[in-house]
């Protein structure tokens, strides 16, 4: 079987392309499990260098991945345990509009209003009635915060959306949520939370204190919505849901704005960095920060996640949520 150091992306036209994947966090995960988890980890080289991400391997699942299609695995698929979303659904789940629209159809979830733009004709129709700013323009697919921009004028929004459409990407235009993001506090880069490869999570985020949570019921309310969303989407592995207060008012309710189904640790293709390797002492993910509130260090978090594994056979046969 071929396991590749890349990421497949399907754009709005149905074409696929390759992007470098989360090799840094993949190496963090593999190194921590080997050094501190007491587990055997398969790597391309017998003695991987902790400073070389590529030595630890990485693969992103997709519909035609060997985990999904290989006949050689059929007889053992019930015995192989996997942590992750079903490989054949990963490309669908990478569509930022898919999960949000499912939640809107179900009802009961706080979501910003949004419009899907497939071409310049639809863009012109939307812009002709757009009166309120700022708004966020973002590609329907994409990793990290690439292509996500807060637009404060009609001209800025048009230029950004045209640029994304020219990249063969459908576009989502949604209301900008002005308040605090998630259950942590971010320093934003022009209104968008920066990818932690640029700004370490430990430098711009913090854990919500227990007394804050008890004092503010909006935290519990949005947590319940996140649990309901994960159940509706039939998640088979941990996911990350980004939330943000609707306004700058500290008592403002939260809204869900990005259901990220792609954390898939089965292939170590997860933006879940952590300390352990030389020079990465300040690295952490939001998941790791939250785990710290439970008294879990990075290796313990990974071991807890491994306990949530599913049989490969079950993942292969899982149908789309109805």
Predicted confidence band of residue 71 (pLDDT cuts 50, 70, 90): very high
Q: Which residues of 17-53 are buried (b: 16+ CB within 10 A; e: fewer)?
A: eeeebbbbbbbbbbbbbbeebeeebeeeeeebebeeb
- pLDDT tens per residue, range 203-225: 556 777 788 888 999 988 998 89
- The rounded percent of the chain whose pLDDT value lies above 90 is 32
Higher pLDDT, 77 or 299: 77
Q: What is the CA radius of gyration of the chain?
A: 20
Query: What's the confidence (pLDDT) of residue 246?
Result: 93
Specify whether 28 is located in the same domain as 81.
yes
Specify whether 248 is located in the same domain as 304.
no
Quote the longest CA-to-CA distance of the chain.
60
Strands 254-260, 16-19: pairing is unpaired
Specify whether 87 is located in the same domain as 119.
no
Answer whether residue 50 shows pLDDT above 70.
yes
Query: What's the confidence (pLDDT) of residue 271?
Result: 61
Q: Tell me how far apart the alpha carbons of residues 77 and 75 are, in angstroms, rounded to a whole number.
A: 6
Task: For residues 48-61, give the mean pLDDT.
Answer: 82
Q: Write down which residue in 138, 161, 176 finishes a domain.
A: 176
Task: For residues 13-34, give the mean pLDDT.
Answer: 65
Query: What's the confidence (pLDDT) of residue 21?
Result: 52
Q: Tell me how far apart the alpha carbons of residues 106 and 259 are, in angstroms, rounded to a whole number.
A: 15
Q: Considering the entire predicted model, what is its pTM?
A: 0.77
Specify whether 12 is located in the same domain as 71.
yes
- The rounded percent of the chain whose pLDDT value lies above 70 is 80
Specify whether 165 is located in the same domain as 240.
no
The range of the structural domain enclosing residue 161 comes to 113-176
Task: For residues 271-296, give the mean pLDDT.
Answer: 76
Q: Tell me how far apart the alpha carbons of residues 106 and 114 are, in angstroms, rounded to a whole number.
A: 16
Specify whether 225 is located in the same domain as 273.
no
Answer whether residue 81 shows pLDDT above 50.
yes
Partners of 245 in beta bridges: 254
For the chain, give the mean pLDDT.
79
- pLDDT tens per residue, range 161-208: 999 999 989 999 999 998 887 633 233 344 444 444 444 445 556 777
Query: What's the confidence (pLDDT) of residue 268?
Result: 40
Alpha helix (H) residue ranges in the chain? 23-35, 66-69, 90-93, 96-106, 120-129, 154-166, 201-204, 210-215, 217-232, 286-292, 298-306, 312-317
Higher pLDDT, 17 or 206: 206
Structural domains of the chain, count: 3
User: Is residue 105 assigned to a domain?
Assistant: no
């Amino acid at each position: 079987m071929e396991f590749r150091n890349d990421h497949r992306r399907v754009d709005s036209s149905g074409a696929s392309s390759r992007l470098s994947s989360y090799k840094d966090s993949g190496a963090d995960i593999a190194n921590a499990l080997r050094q501190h988890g007491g587990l055997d980890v398969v790597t391309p080289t017998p003695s991987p260098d902790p400073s070389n991400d590529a030595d630890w391997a990485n693969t992103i699942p997709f519909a035609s991945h060997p985990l999904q299609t290989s006949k050689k695995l059929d007889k053992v698929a019930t015995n192989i345990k996997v942590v992750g979303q079903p490989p054949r659904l990963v490309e669908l789940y990478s569509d930022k509009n898919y999960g949000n629209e499912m939640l809107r159809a179900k009802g009961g979830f706080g979501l910003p209003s949004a419009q899907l733009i497939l071409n310049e004709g639809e863009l012109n129709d939307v812009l002709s009635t757009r009166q309120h700013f700022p708004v966020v323009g973002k590609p329907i697919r994409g990793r990290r915060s690439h292509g996500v921009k807060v637009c404060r004028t009609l001209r800025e929004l048009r230029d950004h959306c045209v640029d994304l459409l020219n990249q063969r990407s459908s576009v989502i235009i949604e209301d900008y949520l002005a308040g605090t993001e998630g259950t942590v506090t971010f320093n934003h880069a022009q209104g968008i939370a920066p990818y932690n490869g640029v700004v370490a999570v430990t430098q711009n985020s913090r854990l919500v204190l227990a007394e804050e949570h008890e004092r503010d019921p909006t935290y519990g309310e949005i947590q319940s919505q996140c649990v309901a969303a994960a159940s509706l989407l039939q998640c088979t592995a941990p996911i990350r849901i980004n939330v943000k207060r609707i306004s700058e008012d500290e008592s403002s309710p939260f809204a869900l704005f990005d259901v990220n189904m792609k954390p898939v640790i089965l292939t170590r293709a997860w933006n879940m960095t952590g300390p352990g390797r030389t020079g990465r002492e300040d690295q952490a993910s939001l998941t790791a920060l939250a785990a710290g509130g439970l008294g879990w260090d990075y290796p313990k978090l990974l071991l807890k996640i491994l306990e949530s594994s599913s049989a490969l056979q079950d993942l292969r046969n899982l149908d789309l949520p109805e």
